[in-house]
Amino acid sequence: MKRNTWQKEAVRSALGDAGGFVSAQALHASLRESGSTIALATVYRALTGLTDEGEADSLQQEGEVLYRACTPGTHHHHLICRRCGTTVEIEAQPVEEWARRTAAEHGFTRAEHVVDIFGVCARCSDLVDRASRP
Burial class (CB in 10 A: 0-12, 13-18, 19+), 7: middle
Least distance (Å) from a second copy to the CB of residue 84? Answer: 12
The alpha carbon of residue 18 and the mean position of all alpha carbons in its chain are separated, in whole angstroms, by 10
Least distance (Å) from DNA to the CB of residue 21? Answer: 11
Distance CA 55, CA 73 (A): 8
**Residues 49 and 109: beta-carbon distance below 8 Å:** no
Distance CA 131, CA 134 (A): 8
- Select from 1-9, 12-20, 75-83, 101-109 the region that touches DNA (CB under 7 A): 1-9
**Residues 52 and 64: beta-carbon distance below 8 Å:** no
Q: Does 122 bind a second copy (CB under 8 A)?
A: yes
**Residues 53 and 110: beta-carbon distance below 8 Å:** no
Q: Does 26 bind a second copy (CB under 8 A)?
A: no
Q: Does 42 bind DNA (CB under 7 A)?
A: yes
Q: Does 29 bind DNA (CB under 7 A)?
A: no
Binding site for DNA (CB under 7 A): 1-8, 23-25, 37-42, 44-46, 48, 63-65
Binding site for a second copy (CB under 8 A): 60-61, 63, 65, 79, 81-82, 88, 90, 92, 94-95, 98-99, 102-103, 106-122, 125
